[in-house]
Amino acid sequence: MRVKMRIRRFNPEKDSKPWWGEYEVEVEPTDRVLDALHQVKWYQDGTLTLRRSCAHGICGSDAMVINGRNALACKVLMRDVGKVCVVEPLRGLPLIKDLVVDMEPFFAKYRAVMPWLVNDEIPDHGERLQSPEARERYDDTTKCILCAACTTSCPSFWANEHYIGPAAIVQAHRFIFDDRDRAAVERLRILNDRDGVWRCRTVFNCVQACPREIDVTKAIGEVKLAILEAL
């Protein structure tokens, strides 16, 4: 099938502002949007710039806005995008070039929630025990691949770049609800900040955007309740 790719372009060394590039590609209905972007980059315009790596929805490199909605380019099939496929960089993060944005502010927020297990009681031999139910409690949020699709789909984040954002809250949730962890209260304090979890307005764009199908808003809601209980 023939599809028109409308791609938001910006070269920091040449352009003063972004512009739209249009390209025709011939693709299979089962091809990914990433395949179509590669067709443009490899055979039509080598200057098109994007990040990608694993190409099957695990590494989280190629989150972008596809037809007005955040998604991984390697997880959207061409048969689902129609005759025209509009591709833009993620919103709310500084634009570097074409579809590449600066991820550093995003990772800074991730680092702010102490995303590591805190527990010094290590058994002499073997593993710490954890019941399947306790493991299940935080299963959903272990799936996060830090692609930033959720955070950059959030109107609260667009309006306020200091908002810690859904991804960081999801990462905090993964530890707060892990019964092996001992720093839940500290993390809850961090998230109780004015730019913490209370900026969430339950818009649910993050749930729709998450390529790992994490129930992001539920995780945020659980953190809100935990703050009410613990602090």
Partner 1 sequence: MGALVETLRYVISYRGTEGHWAWLLHRLSGLGIALFLSMHIISIFSVGLGPRVYNFLHEVLYVSAPAKVLEVFLIFGVLFHAANGMRIIVIDFFPGLGKYQRTIVRIELLVVILVFIPAAIITLQGVL
Partner 2 sequence: MVRTHRTETVVVGAGGAGLMAALYASRGSQTVVLSKLYPTRSHTGTAQGGIGAALGNIEEDHPEWHTFDTVKGSDYLADQDAVERMCYEAPEIVYELEHMGLPFSRTPEGKINQRPFGGHAAEFGKRPVPRACFAADRTGHMILQTLYQQCLKHRVKFYDEFHVLDLVLSPDGRAAGVVAYDIDQGELHLFHAKAVIFATGGFGRIWQITSNAHSLTGDGPAILLQKGLPLEDMEFFQFHPTGIYKMGILITEAVRGEGGVLRNDQGERFMERYAPTMKDLASRDVVSRAIYLEVKAGRGIGGKNYVHLDATHLGREKIEERLPDIADFCRTYLGIDPAEQPIPVQPTAHYAMGGIPTDVEGRVRRNAAGDLVPGLYAAGEVACVSVHGANRLGTNSLLDIVVFGKHAGQDAARFCQQNDWPELPEETWQPSQATIERILNNTGEDNAARIRDEMQAVMMDHVGVFRTAEGIQKALEKIHELQERVRHVTVSDKGKRFNTELLEAIELRNLLELAEVTAQSALNRTESRGAHYREDFQQRDDEHWLKHTFVRKEDGQIRFEYRPVVITKYQPQERKY
Residues found in the chain:
231
- Is residue 196 a contact residue for partner 2 (CB under 8 A)? no
Q: Which of 210, 211, 213, 220 is nearest to 173 (CA)?
A: 220
Angle between helices 184-191 and 165-176 (to 10 degrees): 160
- DSSP class of residue 7? E
Q: Binding to partner 2 by residue 146, rule CB under 8 A?
A: yes
First-to-final CA distance of the chain: 57
Q: Does 19 bind partner 2 (CB under 8 A)?
A: no
Given a contact cutoff of 8 angstroms between Cβ atoms, the answer to whether 138 and 173 are in contact is: yes
Distance in Å, CB of 123 to partner 1, minimum: 33
HEC states along 13-33?
A: CCCCCCEEEEEEEECCCCCEH
Could you tell me which stretch among 1-9, 49-57, 155-163, 214-222 binds partner 2 (CB under 8 A)?
A: 49-57
Count residues contacting partner 2 (CB under 8 A)?
60
User: Of residues 2, 83, 132, 229, which one binds partner 2 by CB under 8 A?
Assistant: 132
**Residue 57 in the binding site for partner 2 (CB under 8 A):** yes
Residues that bind partner 2 (CB under 8 A): 11-14, 30, 41-43, 45-47, 49-61, 75, 77, 96-97, 100, 103, 107, 111, 114-117, 119, 122, 125-132, 134-135, 138-139, 142-143, 145-146, 174-175, 178, 180-181, 213
